[in-house]
Chains A and B, each alone.
Chain A
Amino acid sequence: MSDIERLLADAARSTEAGPSAETIEADVQRGRAGLARKRRTRLIASSVGATLAAGALAGSALVWTDAVDTDPAGPADAGRDRVTGPAQPTDSPTRKSTGVSLVAWSGEQPEGFIVDKVPDGWFIQGSNEFSLTIAPNGDTTHPDNFMGKLVVTVYSKSEQKKLPDDGTPVQVGEWPGVVTHRDQAVLHYQDDNGNWVHIQAPARLGWSDRQLADFGETVAVTDAARPGIG
C-alpha cells in the first residue's frame, strides 16, 4: 500500500465511533416524517385531481347549457359542439382520478410480496412466487384467473430489456415507469433487483395512470418472488 493509500485509509477515523441510540432514533423519526410528508403530498395531489375532475364536469355542464340556450345555429350544431368541445370528460385522466381509493392491508402478507395497501373493498386472493392476485371482496374465482383483477407479476431481465415506448411515463417511487393501455392498463417498472414488475389494473378500478403508479409504490417484491417467463 502506497503512502497516499495509507493516508486515505486512515483519514477521518475519528468519525467511526458508533452512533448513539439518540442518533439512530433521530434517523427513524426523520424517516417517519418523510413518509408522512410523502403521503400528505399524494393526498393533496389526489384531492386536486378530484377537484379538477369536478371542475371539468361543471365545465361540461356549462358548455351544455350555453349550447342549448344560446347557440344560434340550433340544437343540431349545439350537439356537435358538445361532442367536440374541450370540456368533454369522456376519457380525460382527471375523470379517472376518482377511482377506487387505497386502504391499508391488515391481513396476511402474500408469498413473494409485501403489500401495504389494497383498493377499498378488495382483498388479496392469492399469490405464488410468480404473481400476486388482488380481487374484489366476494370473488370466488381461482386466483390464477386474472380477468377483472389487480395482478402483480414479476419478469426477469432476460424477458424484458427496457420500458415500453408506447406508454405514459410515470414515476414509481424512485423508479421510472410506464403505463401502457393495450387491452388494459399495465404499469411496467424495473426494481432495484433488476426484476421487471408488471401491474395489471382492470378498468373497474377507474384509476388514472398516477393512481396505478401510487399503488405500485405500496407493493414490494421480495427475494421469495421468482421472475416468470413470457
Chain B
Amino acid sequence: MRWKRDSAAWEDEFRTFVAHSRSSLLRAATLLSAGNSHRAEDLVQIVMLRMYLNWRRIRPGTREQYARKILTNAHIDDRRRSHTRHEEACAEPPDVAVVQPAPTDPDAAVFRALAELPPRMRATVILRHVLDVSVADTADALGCSEGNVKSQTAHGLDRLRAALSESPPDETRGPAVPTPTEARRNHT
C-alpha cells in the first residue's frame, strides 16, 4: 500500500533526524536545565514527541529550528509551573547536612551560574552562544524582538561573567560535582 510505504518512509526520516539532532538538543537541554540531566532528558523527549506528531507538516529545511523552538518553549513553560519550583520530596531526609562542594569542575560552575539566570535569559544565551543560532532565529524561537534578544544576551553574559568571576573555574576538568539533589540520592 502506498500510504503504508509513505508512513514507513517518513518514520525513517524521523529516525535520521533523531540520530543527527538528539545529542545537540540534549546538550542544550542540559544547559537549559542548569545541569539537571533527568530534566534535560524529559525536555528532549517532549521535543521528539512533538516533532513526531507534526513531522509531515514541518518543512525539511526548518526541522532543526522547529525543534529548538519546542525545546525553549517547553523549558520556559516548565519553569512557569509552580510545582517545579518546589523542593523535591524524599521519603527519608538525609542524616547529615549536604555540603555544597566547591565548583572546581568548569561544567558545574557554568551550571550554577546558569541556574541564577531567569529562564528566558538563560534560553537566549544558550541559543546564541551554545547552539550558535542567529539573532533572528533566536527571536523567532522565543517570540520576541531581535533587540530584546541582543539585550537579554548582553545582560545574561554579564551576569554569567560576574557569577563565574566570583568562583573562577578550574581549567582542568575534575569529576562532575553532584547537585544537592544528587548528593542526597547518593547518600541514601
Residues of A within 8 A of B (CB): 2-5, 7-19, 23-25, 27-28, 30-32, 34-35, 38, 104-109, 114, 116, 173-174, 191-193, 220-221, 223
Is A17's CB under 8 angstroms from B23's CB? yes
Is B30's CB under 8 angstroms from A109's CB? no
Cβ–Cβ < 8 Å partners of A17 in chain B: 23
Is B106's CB under 8 angstroms from A10's CB? yes
The residue that B126 contacts in the complex, of A8, A32, A174, with Cβ under 8 A, is A8
Chain B interface, >50% SS class = helix
Interface pairs (10), CB distance under 8 Å: A4-B157, A11-B130, A15-B27, A18-B23, A19-B23, A27-B18, A28-B11, A30-B48, A109-B3, A173-B53
Query: Which of B57-65, B83-91, B93-101, B179-187 sits within the interface?
Result: B57-65
**Closest CB of chain B to A116's CB: distance in Å?**
8
Is A15's CB under 8 angstroms from B157's CB? no
**Closest CB of chain A to B1's CB: distance in Å?**
5
Cβ–Cβ < 8 Å partners of B18 in chain A: 19, 23-24, 27-28
Cβ–Cβ < 8 Å partners of A27 in chain B: 14, 18, 22, 45, 48-49, 52
State in angstroms the CA–CA spacing of A16 and B35 once bound together. 14
**Closest CB of chain B to A24's CB: distance in Å?**
5
Is B59's CB under 8 angstroms from A15's CB? no
State in angstroms the CA–CA spacing of A129 and B176 once bound together. 55
Is B129's CB under 8 angstroms from A16's CB? no
Within 8 A of A (CB), among B1-50: 1-4, 6, 11, 14-15, 18-19, 22-24, 26-27, 30-31, 35, 40, 45, 48-50
With A4-B164, A173-B57, A192-B62 as known contacts, state yes or no: A30 contacts B49, CB within 8 Å. Answer: yes
Chain B residue with Cβ nearest A1: B129
Q: Which 8 A-B pairs have the closest CB atoms?
A: A31-B52, A27-B48, A220-B56, A12-B30, A19-B22, A15-B27, A11-B110, A15-B26
State in angstroms the CA–CA spacing of A19 and B60 once bound together. 21
With A19-B23, A28-B52, A31-B14 as known contacts, state yes or no: A11 contacts B107, CB within 8 Å. Answer: yes
Q: Which of A7, A28, A106, A221 has the most CB of B within 10 A?
A: A7
**Closest CB of chain B to A223's CB: distance in Å?**
6
Chain A residue with Cβ nearest B29: A15
| Cβ-Cβ contact count across A and B, 8 Å cutoff | 124
State in angstroms the CA–CA spacing of A173 and B53 once bound together. 9
Cβ–Cβ < 8 Å partners of A31 in chain B: 14, 48-49, 51-53
State in angstroms the CA–CA spacing of A28 and B51 once bound together. 10
The residue that A30 contacts in the complex, of B2, B15, B52, with Cβ under 8 A, is B52
The residue that A108 contacts in the complex, of B2, B49, B66, B129, with Cβ under 8 A, is B2
Cβ–Cβ < 8 Å partners of A9 in chain B: 129-130
The residue that A23 contacts in the complex, of B2, B22, B49, B54, with Cβ under 8 A, is B22
**Closest CB of chain A to B157's CB: distance in Å?**
6
Is B2's CB under 8 angstroms from A109's CB? yes
Cβ–Cβ < 8 Å partners of B35 in chain A: 12
**Closest CB of chain B to A27's CB: distance in Å?**
4
Cβ–Cβ < 8 Å partners of A12 in chain B: 27, 30-31, 35, 107
Cβ–Cβ < 8 Å partners of B111 in chain A: 11
With A4-B161, A28-B52, A34-B53 as known contacts, state yes or no: A106 contacts B110, CB within 8 Å. Answer: no
**Closest CB of chain B to A167's CB: distance in Å?**
21
What 14 new A-B contacts, CB under 8 Å, besides A19-B18, A109-B6, A114-B6?
Answer: A7-B169, A11-B130, A12-B31, A14-B107, A18-B19, A18-B23, A23-B18, A31-B52, A32-B52, A104-B3, A105-B3, A191-B57, A193-B62, A223-B59
